[in-house]
Amino acid sequence: MRSLIIHMPGPGARAENVARLLEVLPGAEVMPAVNGHEALQSGAADVLDGKCHTPPYPFAMGPGEVGCFLSHRKCWQEIAAGPDPFVLIAEDDLVIDPAPWDRAMALVAAHAGEESFIRLPAKDREHRQVVLAEDGGAALFLPRVIGLQTVCQVVGRGAARRLLAATERLDRPVDTTLQMHWVTGQPIHTIWPSGVGEMPGASTIQKKTRASGKLMREIRRAIYRTRIRARPQRG
């Protein structure tokens, strides 16, 4: 299996982590990340106001979110045009716990295909709608509501083409877009335990919100998540 590691070149802890991932992940190579500021300034990103799909997204996308989304689309383009039936995509803050990771990879090897999108999350936050397979305590399942974050996933060639067609215009972050299976037409499965973790304090997508606006933001977030939960994946 081939692996793509999304990374913005430069020194620091992430570069050191990428060097480790290049040794651990199968067939690994670096996929240079997209700079969201540059994409917005050049007009390379077609970003809308959160009303492209239902439910509407209540927040504007920041440059970091734009760059993250375009970086994943760049990986999908590579997969869609390539010879591999499926490819692993990792973000550069991925940390691996070897024993559960090996069990998760065994499930991937046995069940992934061209139409697959399999999440390998860092946190156990999904309700299991249907369990498809198990291996040594690890389970491959269809989550009722698709979880957030995109630190690691296995994406099939057909799934990549489907996601590219559904995301020519961006109106919300990549993980919230992936939750909308009714828009993308792409079922998403999860493996847990996954053996996946994240570097402490590694997130680079942060928004500063004044104290006066935090309560309203949390209310809007709660309403949005309720609307997403009302559209579960079915077995």
**CB contact at 8 A, 10 and 35:** no
Q: What's the rounded Cα separation, in Å, for the pair 175 and 89?
A: 13
Q: Give the per-residue pLDDT at 204.
A: 53
Q: What is the pTM of this model?
A: 0.94
For residue 137, what pLDDT band results from cuts at 50, 70 and 90?
very high
The mean per-residue pLDDT over the stretch 44-67 comes to 93
Q: What are phi and psi of 228, to 5 degrees?
A: -70, -40
Amino acid at 72: H
For residue 46, what pLDDT band results from cuts at 50, 70 and 90?
confident
What spatial distance separates the first Cα and last Cα of the chain, rounded to whole Å?
A: 28
Q: Tens digits of per-residue pLDDT, 168-205?
A: 999 999 999 999 999 999 999 999 999 999 999 755 55
**Pairing outcome for strands 94-96 and 196-198:** antiparallel
The DSSP 8-state label assigned to residue 170 in this structure reads B
**CB contact at 8 A, 31 and 6:** yes
Q: What's the rounded Cα separation, in Å, for the pair 127 and 28?
A: 31
Q: Give the per-residue pLDDT at 210.
A: 65
Q: Is 201 left (phi over 0), alpha (psi -120 to 50) or beta?
A: left
CATH of 2-229, one of 3.90.320, 1.10.150, 3.90.550, 2.30.30: 3.90.550
pLDDT above 70 (res 156): yes
Helix (H, G, I), strand (E, B) or coil at 224: helix
Q: Give the per-residue pLDDT at 128.
A: 97
